[in-house]
Structure 1
Amino acid sequence: MGIHNLAKLIADFAPSAMKEQEMKSYFGRKIAIDASMCIYQFLIAVRSDGAQLANEDGEVTSHLVGLFYRTIRMVDNGIKPAGTKLWVQGVIPKIFHITFLQIRVRRKPPDLNWRIVKRKERRQEAEKELEKAKEAGDTENVQKFERRLVRATPQHNEDCKKLLKLMGIPYVEAPGEAEAQCVALVNGDKVYGVGTEDMDALTFGTKVMLRHLTASEAKKLPVQEYSFNKVLEGLNLSHEEVCRNPLRVQSNMLDFIDLCILMGCDYCGTIRGIGPKRAIELIQKYKNIEAVLENIDQKKYPPPEGWLFKQARELFKHPDVTPAEDIELKWTDPDEEGVVDFMCKRFGFNEERIRNGCQKLKKGRKGSTQGRLDSFFTVVANKSSNKRKAEEMNGKKSKKAKGSFKKRK
């Protein structure tokens, strides 16, 4: 998912756009987390024997384990005073008539089914490979293809929402893509950045994107922070400050959107034979896909039949989101007894461990109430060097004059 090879392209052409940080560097920050991606990551976590985490009744609990402990870890590192982070859950854009966790095809032309068809093809291929691996007794590949067949269910979704509420964590149910809703909150100054593994958060125009924020602590992965403006600078694409209105996109970032579509996004196919390096060269030269199509040899580089790049562009330009000003983020004290009742009595978790986790959550909340130092200051634009030099020259001349000076008001 996301933009194919965008992280590698940035590493090659705009290395200064990404910096690695420790999680504690985000002390006091509010972060919007793409929950749809996280829930999937938690569900594919398996034990050493290859099975998913489950209780005695066989109910999968991987999503709850991941959500509970990763949330506590971030609170423990001081992320968001009086709260931890924002989890955003979303659905796939309505142009494809797909709802989050549930695909519903409703009488649309075959060419609009690109994303659905590709998912179905990948799933069918994974099922075939899984059967082969089982017959061959290949445990490693069995686990690999079982992960590819994992799907979140509406019940998993409801479980996570209930746990977040009990932990005092706000969440937003996005009308469209979760990443796009996160970006709307960033650009509306509700939160600092987007926490997601999907690189298309940059295509939606987020000012700051954070990867590996919800990774397992055992992996010891540093947080990767991407700056949107530095990405555009490094790729030599025209840019200005990201528009504060998440529903509008300045025309000078459309070249970046078209670059991402050329590289391969979730919404449509791409031109066979054009990789990341060729894509950036073409966009730098021609600025948009229409001009690219006019200037390439389409026999050598055939575009997909009925290519929906214009529709994909519109989805990135005008995503279906709730405006940031209409969203109130409210963090509350965790309900320890409610968490214990839900996690232990309902799902059979160890009560001592859950209570210890709740105590960590409470302690982290109290310890993170101190604001960041940079929140107490306002950035003021510097005067021009010429004006400053003129003032310095006037100051030198005034020293030569006799008389007293006036006290500054």
Structure 2
Amino acid sequence: MGIKGLTKLLGDHAPGAIKDVELKSLFGRKVAIDASMSIYQFLVAVRQAGGDSLTNDAGDVTSHLSGLFHRTVRLMEMGIKPVYVFDGAPPEMKSGELQKRTEAKAAAKAAAAKAVEEGNAELAEKYTRRVNSVTPAMTADCKTLLRAMGVPVVEAPCEAEAQCAAMAKAGLVYAMASEDMDSLTFGTPILIRQMWAGARAGADKKGVKPMTFNLEAALSGLDMTMDQFVDVCILCGCDYTDSIKGIGPTKALALVRKYGDLSAVINALKGEGKYSIPDPFPVEEVRELFLSPKVADPAGLTLKWGEVDEAGLKALLVEQSQFKEETVTSGIARIRKSMKNSTQGRLDSFFKPVPGAAASSGGTKRKGGPGGKAASTAGKGKAAAPKKAKK
């Protein structure tokens, strides 16, 4: 789900943080990709005429493999070095959100069946798209596919977005790609959205471009510390706690600016008596999930793009999934060619990064709260500035 209304909030108050880019401008860059989000997108987007998912002879869905294979080949052809990061076990505080999603899918499945009975194909398609789920078997096949393509796979201990953000902050990758705006709340210096749309054939002619979000520019535009930004995001509504009815993004921003931090905001709202505050509303616990999430130490990760396992790819895609062999063979040739072309480096690879180039506690400090004291918490929520060197 991400953070409700964050894109519009940044567009209104920190427009300099958002930029449309050409996908080819990411040539030579390493990009960490939220794998589960991408696989779900492929399940929705890759469908046959008539609205059905792609399947093999046994009836197993293969849309995710088709989308992942073709789009990854396209990224590599454009000189981008993808790293796919998979979710681990979700934090306990996310269980309520996951339950809501399960119930919503069940309701959509029932609505789709009813629409089919009534002969309403358009409505049936609408609800069917909401039923898609990424199964453990699909995830396992995607990992097999990527490794056979020679693409690095990282298995996060918890949230993939948090792991991607940690890798970007550490300089292991240039940016992360996801549609979830909570990627910024986890502290990624640069977030890329709509990357898959930009990778489609003919995207340039249609004017479809990826969007980048720069965290340092966002904090500067909002005139906030990273801690305050996280507080605003929690108030907007996130996966870890219920939102407060009547508090939208603009109101959340105004409240944190007025009172300085989330704890003070909650106390003030309770005093007013106009708002129904969820009970519990675990401020410190949710903050901790964003500011100190459970991740694998990036220093212990080695990203390596290897040779294509042609036999492995054909076993998975041709024999198991019934893809056309000529299509897979062509894809393999494109991957190998892209690997040769990727030896050409970016111009900025000749420059070394500046040591310690990080924004202190997320940039400019806004003074707020009683007595005009700075609302930031020392040593927490640092946002790394994007490095200029090739990642």
Q: Distance in 2 between matches of 1:131 and 1:61?
A: 22
- The list of structure 1 runs, each at least 4 consecutive aligned residues, that deviate by more than 6 angstroms after superposition, is none
8 Å CA contact 1:54, 1:62 repeated in 2? yes
Tell me which residue corresponds to 2:352.
378
SS of aligned partner of 1:85 = strand
Task: Output aligned runs, 1:35-114, within 5 Å.
Answer: 35-45=35-45, 46-79=47-80, 84-96=81-93, 113-114=95-96
Q: Distance in 2 between matches of 1:259 and 1:380?
A: 30
Q: Distance in 2 between matches of 1:53 and 1:380?
A: 48
CA 1:169 to 1:380, structure 2 compared with 1: closer, same or farther past 3 Å?
closer
**2:108 equivalent to 1:126:** yes
Tell me which residue corresponds to 1:25.
25
Q: Distance in 2 between matches of 1:371 and 1:152?
A: 36
Tell me which residue corresponds to 1:13.
13
8 Å CA contact 2:86, 2:160 repeated in 1? yes
Tell me which residue corresponds to 1:184.
166
- Matched residue pairs, number? 348
Deviation of the 1:379 alpha carbon: 6.1
Deviations 1:215-242 (A, max 9, x none): 361572211111101011111213xxxx
CA 1:198 to 1:92, structure 2 compared with 1: closer, same or farther past 3 Å?
farther
**2:110 equivalent to 1:115:** no
Percent identical: 44
Unpaired stretches in structure 1, ≥5 consecutive residues: 97-111, 239-252, 382-409
8 Å CA contact 1:90, 1:177 repeated in 2? yes
The amino acid across from 2:243 in the alignment is T
**2:270 equivalent to 1:285:** no
The amino acid across from 1:263 in the alignment is C
Q: Distance in 2 between matches of 1:365 and 1:22?
A: 21
Tell me which residue corresponds to 2:188.
206
8 Å CA contact 2:263, 2:283 repeated in 1? no
Of 335-344 and 265-274, more deviation after overlay is shown by: 335-344
The amino acid across from 2:200 in the alignment is E
SS of aligned partner of 2:352 = coil
Deviation of the 1:314 alpha carbon: 1.3
8 Å CA contact 1:93, 1:320 repeated in 2? no
8 Å CA contact 1:91, 1:175 repeated in 2? yes
SS of aligned partner of 1:148 = coil
Deviation of the 1:197 alpha carbon: 0.7
8 Å CA contact 2:56, 2:320 repeated in 1? no
Deviation of the 1:43 alpha carbon: 1.5
The amino acid across from 1:54 in the alignment is T
Of 115-124 and 51-60, more deviation after overlay is shown by: 115-124
Tell me which residue corresponds to 1:406.
none
8 Å CA contact 2:106, 2:131 repeated in 1? no
Deviations 1:167-192 (A, max 9, x none): 00010110000010111111111100
From 212, 217, 240, the counterpart of 2:200: 217
The amino acid across from 2:41 in the alignment is Q
The amino acid across from 1:87 in the alignment is Y
Unpaired stretches in structure 2, ≥5 consecutive residues: 356-391
Q: Distance in 1 between matches of 2:238 and 2:102?
A: 17
Q: Distance in 2 between matches of 1:67 and 1:285?
A: 46
CA 1:160 to 1:120, structure 2 compared with 1: closer, same or farther past 3 Å?
closer
From 214, 218, 237, the counterpart of 1:227: 214
Deviation of the 1:117 alpha carbon: 3.2
Q: Distance in 1 between matches of 2:249 and 2:91?
A: 28
CA 1:113 to 1:22, structure 2 compared with 1: closer, same or farther past 3 Å?
closer
The amino acid across from 1:60 in the alignment is V
Deviation of the 1:132 alpha carbon: 3.5
Q: Distance in 2 between matches of 1:355 and 1:371?
A: 27
Deviations 1:306-332 (A, max 9, x none): 223332211111111000001111110
8 Å CA contact 1:236, 1:284 repeated in 2? no
CA 1:188 to 1:3, structure 2 compared with 1: closer, same or farther past 3 Å?
same
The amino acid across from 1:26 in the alignment is L
Tell me which residue corresponds to 1:338.
312
The amino acid across from 1:293 in the alignment is I
**2:241 equivalent to 1:264:** no
Q: Distance in 2 between matches of 1:183 and 1:164?
A: 21
Q: Distance in 2 between matches of 1:379 and 1:329?
A: 19
Tell me which residue corresponds to 1:295.
268
TM-score by length of 1: 0.81
Q: Distance in 2 between matches of 1:326 and 1:155?
A: 28
Q: Distance in 2 between matches of 1:125 and 1:329?
A: 41
TM-score by length of 2: 0.85
Tell me which residue corresponds to 2:327.
353
CA 1:370 to 1:154, structure 2 compared with 1: closer, same or farther past 3 Å?
same
From 172, 175, 195, the counterpart of 1:193: 175
8 Å CA contact 2:22, 2:209 repeated in 1? yes
**2:137 equivalent to 1:137:** no
Q: Distance in 2 between matches of 1:39 and 1:49?
A: 21
CA 1:293 to 1:155, structure 2 compared with 1: closer, same or farther past 3 Å?
same
Q: Distance in 2 between matches of 1:373 and 1:113?
A: 46
From 307, 311, 317, the counterpart of 2:285: 311
Q: Distance in 2 between matches of 1:192 and 1:72?
A: 19
SS of aligned partner of 2:85 = strand
Q: Distance in 2 between matches of 1:53 and 1:257?
A: 40
